[in-house]
Amino acid sequence: MEMISVVVIGRNEGQRLVDCIKSIQILAESTEIIYVDSDSTDGSPERAKVLGVKVIVVHTEHPTAAIGRNAGWQIATNPLVLFIDGDTILNSNFIKVALPIFADPKVAAVCGHYRELYPEASIYQRVLDLDWMVPTGVVTSCGGIVLMRKSVLEEVNGYNPQLIAGEEPEMCQRIRAAGYVIHRIDKPMILHDLAIKSWSQYWQRSVRTGHAYAEISNMLEQSSLADFYKEKAGGILWQQEARKNFINAGVWTGIFVFGLVMTALSWLPLLFCLVLFLSFSLRTSWKNRWKSKDYFSIFLYGLHSQFQHIPIMVGQLSYHYNRWRGKRRNLIEYK
Torsion angles phi and psi, residue 147, rounded to 5? -100, 125
- Domains, in order of start, for the chain: 4-197 (3.90.550.10), 216-325 (no CATH)
Find the range with the poorest average confidence among 133-137, 146-150, 325-329.
Answer: 325-329
**For the chain, counts of helices (H) and of strands (E):** 13, 9
The alpha carbon of 186 is separated from its chain's Cα centroid by a whole number of angstroms, namely 18
> 57 pLDDT exceeds 60?
yes
| Pairwise CA distance, residues 31 & 7, whole Å | 11
Average model confidence (pLDDT) for the chain? Answer: 91
Task: Read off the pLDDT of residues 78-137 as tens digits, 9 standing for 90 and up.
Answer: 999 999 999 999 998 999 999 999 999 999 999 999 999 999 999 999 999 999 999 899
| Pairwise CA distance, residues 330 & 138, whole Å | 33
What pLDDT does 1 receive? 54
- The amino acid at 244: K
| Pairwise CA distance, residues 100 & 258, whole Å | 57
Could you write out the DSSP letters of every residue in 181-222? EEEEEEEEEEEE-----SHHHHHHHHHHHHHHHHHHHHHHHT
| Pairwise CA distance, residues 24 & 91, whole Å | 9
The alpha carbon of 73 is separated from its chain's Cα centroid by a whole number of angstroms, namely 19
Residue 231 DSSP class: H
Could you write out the DSSP letters of every residue in 52-71? T-EEEE---SS--HHHHHHH
Task: Read off the pLDDT of residues 10-49 as tens digits, 9 standing for 90 and up.
Answer: 988 889 999 999 999 987 766 899 999 988 888 889 999 9
Nearest residue to 216 (alpha-carbon basis) of 170, 172, 260: 170
Question: Cβ distance 60 to 37 under 8 Å?
Answer: no
The pTM assigned to this predicted structure is: 0.88
The alpha carbon of 310 is separated from its chain's Cα centroid by a whole number of angstroms, namely 19
Q: What is the mean pLDDT of residues 173-198?
A: 93
| Pairwise CA distance, residues 175 & 157, whole Å | 10
Could you write out the DSSP letters of every residue in 313-335? HHHHHHHHHHHHHT--PPP----
Find the range with the poorest average confidence among 72-76, 176-180, 264-268, 273-277.
Answer: 264-268
What pLDDT does 76 receive? 95
Residue 250's contacts (CB-CB under 8 Å, 6 or more residues apart) are: 313
Q: How confident is the model at residue 74 (pLDDT cuts 50, 70, 90)?
A: very high
Could you write out the DSSP letters of every residue in 236-283? STTHHHHHHHHHHHHHHHHHHHHHHHHTTT-SHHHHHHHHHHHHHHHH
